[in-house]
């Protein structure tokens, strides 16, 4: 099979990239390992994605935002960071002229909206149940190619890799990556609580556990509990009543009694950073390029901005003459996306290291950091701008 662009992975990054090429005139093939139902009607996976204003704009342009169920879009007005038992908190509110910091939308709704927007796109062929088992980026040849488990080969002028943080396509291309398993897991579950959350997200670096509450519409929240892997699995195995009691206790009744209202999901935490985002005729987007720790809620936001940058460069190359222009276009994408991701990736990893270190100096240091953050006039606007745009 021959095409202009082959995309490996129909997750939110791959689908968003396919949508971004709508007006490019290119023939696109998107290969997704999962069956069609997983794309058309993805199941709830517990991820409540905090979207920035910039991400909302991109999703609007891709025709996905209007496909989200309105009652599943929850405005986030403020965020609060708390350290251990300290009564002090570092607070963030919306910037001038903005009604909210950002939005919370369930991941499965974003995926369904992107699929719905993409499914009848002219020039795009979505092939599900198609697992890529090998790839070549065609550094010297005129085509990149991928091999499917069925034995079929797809050749393309551009290969876009969007098959997640433990990307096997990235590996097949010989692109190395820093892969850091953190030995901790994140358990996520929806809860109903007694007291209103005031549309305020909470990030609480408590002793030996990290807790987060993501405010949804009504008295509902996404509860996020980060623990060592075996402890997270143990807690996730509680029945609903026991888990509700456990979460009420862990959150120290901040929002009163909690009741579990969804399935729970457990995500082992691993961060990744690809050594190159581009090789020959291949480019990496989404988690395949950068797998962020979820604590700063930026993985998908960066994935969206990265795919938008790549699409803009590819469309520009197509307007001039795709093949000769492609190497320079990919280089510009790589430089731009690495520069955008590096500070957030490094900063998030440092933050996680500091805020999960139980030794006394680290605890004192994070307390001082939060105080300093609240006291220095430029810190909160800078962090807010980084987190929301
Ligand atoms: C608990 C949690 C909370 C999060 N919260 C936030 C948040 O608040 N804000 C935010 O911005 N981000 C958040 N993220 C990150 C966000 O979910 C990811 O960045 C995003 O889902 C990555 O999308 P992706 O398309 O790159 O990868 P994925 O969603 O992993 O999709 C990859 C796709 O590739 C397919 N695939 C894999 N291998 C192959 C193959 N060999 N052949 C064909 N297909 C293949 C898979 O089936 C899958 O459909 C969170 C993550 C977690 C775990």
- What integer pLDDT is reported at residue 388 of this predicted model? 62
Q: What residues line ligand 1, using a CB cutoff of 6 Å?
A: 8-14, 31-34, 47, 49-50, 107, 131-132, 162-164, 168-169, 186, 188, 267, 286-288, 294, 297-301, 303
Question: Which tens digits make up the pLDDT trace of 58-90?
Answer: 999 999 999 999 999 999 999 998 888 887 888
All structural domains of the chain, each given as residue ranges with its CATH number in brackets, are 2-73+105-180+270-355 (3.50.50.60), 183-268+357-388 (3.30.9.10)
Distance from residue 164's CA to the centre of ligand 1 (Å): 5
Q: Is the pLDDT of residue 265 over 70?
A: yes
Asked if residue 135 lies in contact with residue 147, where contact means CB atoms within 8 angstroms, the answer is: yes
Distance from residue 12's CA to the centre of ligand 1 (Å): 7
Instruction: Give the range among 115-124, 263-272, 365-374 with minimum mean pLDDT.
Output: 365-374
DSSP labels, 33-90: SS-HHHHHSPPP-S-EEEE-HHHHHHHHHTT-GGGS-GGG-EEE-EEEEEETT-S-EE
- What integer pLDDT is reported at residue 378 of this predicted model? 61
- Of the pLDDT bands very low, low, confident and very high (cuts 50, 70, 90), residue 379 is low
Q: Is the pLDDT of residue 113 over 90?
A: yes
Collapsed DSSP state (helix, strand, coil) of residue 256: coil
Residue scoring higher pLDDT (356 or 128): 128
- What integer pLDDT is reported at residue 296 of this predicted model? 86
- Of the pLDDT bands very low, low, confident and very high (cuts 50, 70, 90), residue 96 is confident
The protein residue whose alpha carbon is closest to atom 31 in ligand 1 is: 11
Q: Is the pLDDT of residue 346 over 80?
A: yes
Percent of the chain with pLDDT over 70: 95
Question: Which tens digits make up the pLDDT trace of 171-206?
Answer: 999 999 999 999 999 999 999 999 999 999 999 988
Would you say the C-alpha torsion 209, 42, 63, 146 has a positive or negative sign? positive
- What integer pLDDT is reported at residue 154 of this predicted model? 97
Asked if residue 258 lies in contact with residue 193, where contact means CB atoms within 8 angstroms, the answer is: yes
Collapsed DSSP state (helix, strand, coil) of residue 227: strand
- 80 burial class (0-12, 13-18, 19+ CB within 10 angstroms)? middle
Q: pTM for the whole thing? A: 0.94
- Of the pLDDT bands very low, low, confident and very high (cuts 50, 70, 90), residue 376 is low
- What integer pLDDT is reported at residue 79 of this predicted model? 92
Distance from residue 15's CA to the centre of ligand 1 (Å): 11
Residue scoring higher pLDDT (388 or 52): 52
Atom of ligand 1 nearest to the CA of 111: 29
Residue scoring higher pLDDT (313 or 322): 313
- What integer pLDDT is reported at residue 377 of this predicted model? 62
Q: Cα separation of 18 and 30, whole Å?
A: 8
- What integer pLDDT is reported at residue 40 of this predicted model? 97
- What integer pLDDT is reported at residue 297 of this predicted model? 86
Rounded to the nearest integer, the mean pLDDT of the chain is: 92
- What integer pLDDT is reported at residue 184 of this predicted model? 94
Listed in sequence order, the residues at least 6 apart from 257 whose beta carbon sits closer than 8 Å to its beta carbon are 193, 194, 244, 248
Distance from residue 379's CA to the centre of ligand 1 (Å): 30
Question: Which tens digits make up the pLDDT trace of 208-260?
Answer: 899 999 999 999 999 999 999 999 999 999 999 999 999 999 999 999 999 99
Q: Which of 6, 12, 105 to mutate to test the pocket of ligand 1 (most atoms within 8 A of CB)?
A: 12
Distance from residue 11's CA to the centre of ligand 1 (Å): 6
Distance from residue 73's CA to the centre of ligand 1 (Å): 19
Atom of ligand 1 nearest to the CA of 162: 26
**Closest Cα to residue 166, out of 268, 82, 96, 84?**
268
- What integer pLDDT is reported at residue 42 of this predicted model? 98
- What integer pLDDT is reported at residue 205 of this predicted model? 87
Distance from residue 182's CA to the centre of ligand 1 (Å): 18
Residue scoring higher pLDDT (284 or 366): 284
Question: Which tens digits make up the pLDDT trace of 8-47?
Answer: 999 999 999 999 999 999 999 999 999 999 999 999 999 9
């Amino acid at each position: 099979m021959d095409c202009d662009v082959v995309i490996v992975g129909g997750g939110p990054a791959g689908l968003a990239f396919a949508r971004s090429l709508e007006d490019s005139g290119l023939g696109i093939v998107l290969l997704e390992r999962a069956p069609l139902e997983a794309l058309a009607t993805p199941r709830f996976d517990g991820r409540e994605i905090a979207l920035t204003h910039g991400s909302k704009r991109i999703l609007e342009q891709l025709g996905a935002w209007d496909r989200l169920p309105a009652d599943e879009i929850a405005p986030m007005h403020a965020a609060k960071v708390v350290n251990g038992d300290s009564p002090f908190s570092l607070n963030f509110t919306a910037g001038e002229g903005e009604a909210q910091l950002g939005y919370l939308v369930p991941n499965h709704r974003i995926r369904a909206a992107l699929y719905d927007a993409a499914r009848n796109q002219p020039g795009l062929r979505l092939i599900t149940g198609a697992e890529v088992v090998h790839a070549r980026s065609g550094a010297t040849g005129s085509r990149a190619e991928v091999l499917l488990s069925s034995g079929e080969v797809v050749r393309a002028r551009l290969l876009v890799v969007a098959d997640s943080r433990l990307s096997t396509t990235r590996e097949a291309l010989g692109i190395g990556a820093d892969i850091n398993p953190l030995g901790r897991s994140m358990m996520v579950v929806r809860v109903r609580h007694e007291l209103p959350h005031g549309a305020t997200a909470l990030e609480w670096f408590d002793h030996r556990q990290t807790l987060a509450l993501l405010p949804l519409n009504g008295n509902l929240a996404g509860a996020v509990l980060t623990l060592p892997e075996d402890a997270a699995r143990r807690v996730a195995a509680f029945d609903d009543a026991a888990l509700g009691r456990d979460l009420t206790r862990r959150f120290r009744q901040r929002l009163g009694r909690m009741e579990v209202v969804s399935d729970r999901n457990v995500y082992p935490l691993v961060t990744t950073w690809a050594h190159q985002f581009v090789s020959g005729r291949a480019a990496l987007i989404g988690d395949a390029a950068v797998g962020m720790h979820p604590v700063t809620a930026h993985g998908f936001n960066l994935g969206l901005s990265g795919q938008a940058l790549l699409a803009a460069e590819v469309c520009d190359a197509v307007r001039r003459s795709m093949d000769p222009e492609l190497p320079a276009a990919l280089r510009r994408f790589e430089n731009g996306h690495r520069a955008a991701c590096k500070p957030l990736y490094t900063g998030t990893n440092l933050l996680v290291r500091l805020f999960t270190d139980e030794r006394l100096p680290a605890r004192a240091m994070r307390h001082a950091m939060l105080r300093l953050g609240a006291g220095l006039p430029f810190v909160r606007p800078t962090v807010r701008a980084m987190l929301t745009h």
